[in-house]
Structure 1
Amino acid sequence: MTFDHDILAPDDAASPEHPAAPVSGRSVTLGISLLVTALLAAVLLVLPAPYAIRAPGPTQDTLGVQGGEAAAEDEPDGESVTAVPVVAVDGAPTFDTTGQLRLTTISAFGGPGSDVLLGDVLQAWYAPERSVQPAELIFGEESTSEEQERMLQAQMEGSEESATVAALTALGYEVPATLTVIGAAEGSGAEGVVEPDDVVRSIDGEPVVTHQDLLAGLDEVTPGDDVVLGVERDGAEQDLTVTTGDGDGRAALGIYLDPQYRFPVDVTIRPGNIGGSSAGTMFALAIIDKMTKEDELGGEIVAGTGTMSVDGRVGPIGGIRQKMFGAQRDDARWFLAPASNCDEVVGHVPDGLRVVRVATLDDARSAIEAIGAGAADGLPTCS
């Protein structure tokens, strides 16, 4: 190979024809400074940082089996593995479904017992599918990893129960409930009025047979007004006057309840190693899809998120941006987003994903029916 100019070979670098340039003190100082800076930067990048990183977590088809298709395959040693449905219904007819209803999750790093490095934080700041926040905002200041796990599991169990009540009610079933008081919120109108073990029997003279009866009674009340709460205490009926507060735009009693439901249909939800309350909407939709003759999805893959109250209200969740990226990664074309999270959605929707705004279980059910029927153009979005 030839070149049109001379090249110094390494052995010629200090030849008499090309003497080495003298090294100045300034050059030595600069070199040492750069080396020290590089070493300090390297050390900083591997130091723990007081931040948490949220990233897209796994998704799960609530119409499928726990762990996905792999759960239905045989083990290498030939032993058969039982495929466990995520949502199973017993005591009522069920019907075949097509498509997928995928709950979405986030993976959080940097909580109790799981420090993240500064280098990870810097990288996450520039990744659109990740977010960085002070660790205490996500995990709390004093909680341990075991406490976090217990809390998330309790939230999941509550979510499963609320979703089942909402779905069965939407399908026309009545779900009776015994609503037992376990306490009153400090500073609320119920403090010093209700007592633990009171059982709610009526509100403003209307009987409370289901949890929805109580919530419907409160919907008729302006926050701040008094209500007459009929309770059973030590076997005797009593009427208590409670001044309501404001609970996200609706009247709130300020009492903590332990509801015991009597389900007319046996619904079992097994999501696997997933915690939190944000899968309620997708659980409720799966129950409805399995218990109706209509093939709501028509083969489409719909992902989503949102808490579900017993009276069918879709509530806000955390990490919706990461959940949208997780849905896109797992081939969903549609995403159901709580209306109250829309401000976090706008401008952050991954390519190829269409977001539908939902505020109630009825909204979400109508959305999957329209998607399955190929008539989704008019569905509300977050834009």
Structure 2
Amino acid sequence: MSRRGLTLVVAGLLTLALGGAGAVLPVPYVALSPGPTEDTLGSVKGKPVISISGHETYPTSGKLSLVTVAYQGGPTAHLDLLTALRGWVDPNVAVVPEETIFPKTVTVKEVEEQNTQEMTGSQQDATAAALNELKIPIETIIVVASTQKNRPADGKLRPGDQITKVDGTAIRDVDGVAAGVRKHKPGEQVKFDVIRDGKPLTVDVGTVEGNGGSIVGMVMGTRFKFPFNVNVNVGDVGGPSAGLMFSLGIYDKLTPGALTGGTSIAGTGTITADGKVGPIGGIQQKMIGARDAGATVFLTPADNCDDAVRSVPDGLRLVRVTTMREAVHAIDALRTGSGNIPACKAP
């Protein structure tokens, strides 16, 4: 064999070897791509995404779709070099450092559990936002989210305890509990009336100095008691970013007529119980997923607008929203052809 032929053979073998190594060589990155899109007015695996019982509902049409991001890679299934390289040149994929999705301070299981908790909380907040928008009364319940180690509440109050009174006075919100504790001097006892596992209980908890006053060392959260049942079924979707679309789907089912006028609208955004819309991650992949699912309008959190306008797919109209009410008004304007429709604008 000539020297040139030998060189070509060796070069070919090296190329194959490097390609083979690249196919299995793990890299600390995660590839993000458009994930499933689910219509909140439709069904998943034969079950309605949103089902309501105990209150009148109305038939509707069109789509109010939530969008998701799928990921490949992670601590338990590392991305290989070739997949990462393909992702870097694919405009529909974002390749980000692994720590962006899986911080080293938490395990994969903890990340998944957090996503599940955020989804559950998002559904509660979305229901509250929709009912508040419709002026349907709901009851706010104050619960113990966690206690701080070596603080007075540790071992006395438990996560999930529902706080009903502080020193015999009924409370309505988190601020009321905090104010009741601050009335005491450090070292004094606070009497909490709680409901634990369905049973009423009185718990005396000491106080210590902290944050410029007295504290007991607990983190509080809120839950809601609704006057009828609202159930949300989205399968394996996690995280809080579908909150806005859940709230709009619930609102649509509780009001006569079709909110969308029969068109296909997608969107994203976290939601608070009072209807404020917050930013999310993966906006580029979510817009692509929305367009591929047939949406022509995309409800975009205001804080995501700058990134969205830089990569919006052709044929997708970006509507800027800061609150659920603003989203409802924008959809009304789109349906009727009149009124102001706030848009995301280039920075």
Fold-level similarity (TM above 0.5): yes
Q: Partner of 2:104: helix, strand, or coil?
A: coil
Query: Which of the two has greater strand per residue?
Result: 2
1:358 to 308, 321, 328: 321
Amino acid at match of 1:277: P
Q: What is the CA-CA distance between 1:86 and the residue it aligns to?
A: 0.7
Count of aligned residue pairs for this structure pair: 319
Larger radius of gyration: 1
Aligned to 1:53: 31
Amino acid at match of 1:52: V
Q: What is the CA-CA distance between 1:237 and the residue it aligns to?
A: 10
1:229 to 1:363, Cα distance in 2 relative to 1, 3 A:
farther
Amino acid at match of 2:332: E
Determine whether 1:274 maps to 2:231. Answer: no
1:287 to 243, 246, 250: 250
Q: Partner of 2:318: helix, strand, or coil?
A: strand
Aligned pairs for 1:1-383 (under 5 A) are 23=2, 25=3, 27=4, 30-31=7-8, 34-47=11-24, 48-67=26-45, 71=46, 84-141=47-104, 143-183=106-146, 196=157, 208-209=171-172, 228-229=179-180, 233=192, 235=202, 243=211, 256-375=219-338, 378-383=341-346
1:202 to 1:127, Cα distance in 2 relative to 1, 3 A:
farther
Tell me, in whole angstroms, the C-alpha distance in 2 between the residues paired with 1:242 and 1:334: 49
List gaps (5 residues or longer) in structure 1: 1-21, 72-83, 218-226, 245-253
Aligned to 1:10: none
Q: What is the CA-CA distance between 1:271 and the residue it aligns to?
A: 1.2
Q: Partner of 1:256: helix, strand, or coil?
A: strand
Tell me, in whole angstroms, the C-alpha distance in 1 between the residues paired with 2:144 and 2:100: 30
Tell me, in whole angstroms, the C-alpha distance in 2 between the residues paired with 1:232 and 1:286: 42
CA RMSD of aligned residues (A): 3.4
Partners of 1:113 and 1:144 within 8 A in 2: no
List gaps (5 residues or longer) in structure 2: 182-189, 194-201
Partners of 1:202 and 1:229 within 8 A in 2: no
Amino acid at match of 2:34: P
Q: What is the CA-CA distance between 1:207 and the residue it aligns to?
A: 7.7
Partners of 2:157 and 2:203 within 8 A in 1: no
Amino acid at match of 2:27: A
Amino acid at match of 1:106: V
Partners of 1:200 and 1:229 within 8 A in 2: no
Q: Partner of 1:347: helix, strand, or coil?
A: helix
Tell me, in whole angstroms, the C-alpha distance in 2 between the residues paired with 1:363 and 1:207: 34
More RCO (CA 8 Å, sep 6+): 2
Amino acid at match of 1:162: D
Partners of 1:297 and 1:368 within 8 A in 2: yes
Aligned-pair identity in percent equals 36
Partners of 1:345 and 1:382 within 8 A in 2: no
Q: What is the CA-CA distance between 1:336 and the residue it aligns to?
A: 0.9
Amino acid at match of 2:41: L
Q: What is the CA-CA distance between 1:256 and the residue it aligns to?
A: 2.5
Tell me, in whole angstroms, the C-alpha distance in 2 between the residues paired with 1:175 and 1:35: 70
Compute the TM-score of the two structures, normalised by the length of structure 1.
0.72
